[in-house]
Structure 1
Amino acid sequence: MIEVEGVYLTWLISALAIGVAIMPIVKPPWARISISGFVDFIRRYWLHVLILFSIYNAKDFLDQVDRIIMANTGLDMTPWIFAIEGSMVLSIQKLFLNSTLTSLLTHFYVVGFMVICYVSIFYFAYFDDRWMSDRITLTIFWVYLLAVPFYLFFNVRVTGDFIPEMIPLAYNLTPEINDWFTRIDPFTNGMPSLHIAFPFSVWLCLMRYDQDKRWERYRKIVAIFTLLTAFSIIYLGIHWFSDIIGGMVVAVLAVHLSEKSQFVWNYLDERTINSRISALLSNPNKSFAIIKNKIKQSSLKFKKPGSSETTALIIGLLFVVGATVTWDLTHQALPAKGVELPVEVKASGEWMVTLDNHTDGVRLIVHEISNLENEIEVIQPNLDDKSHYDLSGGTLAVANTTELFVVNLTNPSISLLKLSIANIDELHIVESSNGPVIAVVSGGSVELYSISGQNVDANWWADDNVTMLDSIGD
């Protein structure tokens, strides 16, 4: 866990460092950079910063809701996307496949996203461009809000998890990176691509609102970043071409909605909100009377609604319906406690074992079939959704890319066997008169191990009726 957090902190610190390092390049020509400015811009734009961090932190909550909805409904639109695109993304990956490129683009995929979508927003605040800060902050807010219904009800899996030959290069670069992605990403939020929607919306805002060209250099950097990101997310086995198009459409809509909703800064402008808070605290009765009067005046408009009121009612109705459906889907009882997004389930005798894409990462969840309300903790290696496991009676074998664990489920906290393995293709438990045998298929060959870890030979099967077959070719 420490190593995983270390990866994230490295990316975060790198993003902050890069963001500060390129400030002299992207700043308006007449602007100056000072240490005091870093403190001052937070004081002047604290609400903008709060909105951005709220959006960033909302993703964790949204992913948890998405996992529950997926587990309850099995919503998966990926086959529809595949029917349209086929394996076009696979040809891109095969054409450019290179280990150095993979490493560079994986780090760019994470760090670049942080720089452009979050750190760079602070540029406008730091250099006190409130005109641009207001619009881009609201645009990013709308991008995320528009993406939420797709992430909840239009689940599209990453290409590396759907196309057989496609490799999820970014997720598998190192075990630590794999573990980090597995914990924070349900791998079903492909449509639309926020890695495209965020920077493309920033670029659109700069094209539309930067009338004196003070941000021209930054606009060019964002354009290059967006193009490189589009290539990266295809090459790394993450997004479909449709996800990119969806991200661009969402960005266009977000910029339009941002312009329509600029009135919110009449109430949330940091230059006046402090005095509003002071007035509320010093004379709450008067403040509540003003608020009550404004609500009353607004409600009177709905007695004879015009187009604006009708639009507001429709949006409100859609929100209520969506919230009701989401609540219903996330509060259905799952058949086994602790299961969120099952990948595979196996049962034998009185035991049931689920490979679950859990909020905390992929792991095995064990239950006694007679008591599905009681989740049993079992020792296991770090897993992903393609890890192998098998169950026979009370014996559980589970393996990741480097380790094999064998556990007796009557004593699940202790591993009977730990073996170092590599390139496992299949894992099976075979019963014999001498006890369970673990069969590991790797690279076209089969290795057999007893529970004690010894290689099993022909003598092991002396008391069993075993037929040995030789296979030639396929």
Structure 2
Amino acid sequence: MISAQSSIGFSPLVAVLARVLGGAAVALALATLAIVGPSRLAAACGSGSDRLREAAPYLGLLAVVLLVNKVARGVGPEVSWALGWNATGVIYAIEGNFVQHVQSLATPALTAVLSTVYLSGYVFLLTFPFVAYFAAADERPLKLTAVTYAANYAIGLTCYVLFISYGPRNLLPGQVESLLYSTYPQTQILTGEVNVNTNVFPSLHTSLSVSAAAIAIRTRETYPAWAVVASVLAAAVAFSTMYLGIHWGTDVVAGVVLGVGSVAFGDWLVGRRSADA
């Protein structure tokens, strides 16, 4: 679980980042051994350069989108306010106090579990596919994962720039509790580095998790256990975003649509390039 105390001798940001990435790294190592297996991974490493060369254009696309995303998030809020398209009221009119009802289920133990899922579990869910599909005989899932993630980030960033949307914890501070931050205050240092309060529609946590699970289900003949783990974890991540007061149910529904649509786009692009090759 995420500790409520900062590590002595480290800055708060480094301490939180170390815990989040450390938890994800442990899960990644265990899953690699249990799901991929040492022999399959060793065989893949033998032809690693060829695999990476084949996937390089797709991985490069993802890298470019992530770089643009990082730069654009710095100026995005200014553009959003200049446009003035505030979707918060519309979202609240659609679902009202749904998130408040979700939080009625809150217990200290469940908050601890879902906080860990939201942070470390999410990182693991998005990174393990690169290891698993690098080791798979079929290179298509690796390419598909890279393109799908890129599409999620590109469309999500566009929505964040176009629309102002405050989460339930910001709009309804007296009714919806910020469970992640009230339980683990130091995590706000980390999320503040990558998120803006006005950027909640759609939920990228949900969309990327759904995409990872959808691709895992497609590769279930190669990694049957991963299809189950990814599906359960994706559902838990999506639920955690509402339970913790970060996203609206509408954000989650939009995230599901974006996640599925991004996989469809990735299928089209990878298939088209393969046909042209």
| TM-score class normalised by the smaller sequence | 0.7 to 0.9
* Structure 1 position 218 matched with structure 2 position 226: yes
Offset of residue 111 of structure 1:
1.1
The 5-angstrom pairing of residues 307-456 of structure 1 reads none
Instruction: Choose which of 69, 92, 95 in structure 1 pairs with 2:79.
Output: 69
Letter in 1 for 2:192: T
For the residue of structure 2 that corresponds to 1:228, the secondary structure is helix
**Structure (1/2) with the larger strand percentage:** 1
Alignment of 1:113-262 (within 5 A): 113-164=122-173, 165-207=175-217, 209-210=218-219, 213-262=221-270
Which residue identity lines up with residue 51 of structure 2 in the other structure?
R
Q: 2: distance between equivalents of 1:78 and 1:99?
A: 29
TM-score w.r.t. the length of structure 1 is 0.50
State the 1:49 CA deviation: 4.5
**Relative contact order (C-alpha < 8 Å, sep 6+): which is higher?**
2
Aligned residue in 1 for 2:7: none
Q: CA deviation at 1:112?
A: 1.3
Task: Write 1 or 2 for the structure with the bigger share of helix.
Answer: 2
* Uncovered stretches (5+) of structure 2, i.e. residues with no partner: 1-9
* Counterpart residue number, 2:40: 32
Q: Where does residue 60 of structure 1 map in the other structure?
A: 70
Select the residue among 76, 96, 101 that pairs with 1:91: 101
Q: Secondary structure at the match of 2:186?
A: helix
Q: Which amino acid aligns with 1:44?
A: R
Count of aligned pairs between the two proteins: 263
Q: Does the 8 A contact of 1:166 with 1:237 survive in 2?
A: yes
1: CA distance, partners of 2:181 / 2:85? 23
Instruction: Deviation per CA, 1:112-159: give whole Å up to 9, x if none.
Output: 111111233221013343021122221222222222221111232221
What is the identity percentage for the equivalent residue pairs of Structure 1 and Structure 2?
19
4+ runs deviating over 6 angstroms: none
Aligned-partner Cα distance in 1 for 2:121–2:163: 26
Distance 2:210 2:97 in 1: 25
Task: Indicate the SS of the match to 1:261.
Answer: helix
Amino acid at match of 1:66: G
Instruction: State the SS of the aligned residue for 1:157.
Output: coil
What SS class does the counterpart of residue 159 from structure 2 fall into? helix
CA distance in 2, matches of 1:57, 1:16: 23
Amino acid at match of 1:45: L
Give the match's secondary structure for 1:32. Answer: helix
Pick closer, same or farther for the CA change 1:256–1:174 going to 2, 3 Å: closer
Q: For residue 23 of structure 1, what is the aligned residue in structure 2?
A: 32
The answer to whether the Cα contact below 8 Å between 1:192 and 1:244 also exists between their aligned partners in 2 is: yes
Cα distance change of structure 1 residues 189 and 247 upon mapping to structure 2, 3 Å threshold: same
CA distance in 2, matches of 1:226, 1:129: 24
Larger Rg: 1
Q: 1:86 to 1:221 in 2, by over 3 A?
A: same
Any conservation in 2 of the 1:66–1:152 contact (CA below 8 Å)?
Answer: yes
Deviation track 1:208-249 (CA, whole Å, cap 9, x = no partner) reads: x43x71122211111101111122111100111111110111
* Secondary structure, counterpart of 2:101 in structure 1: helix
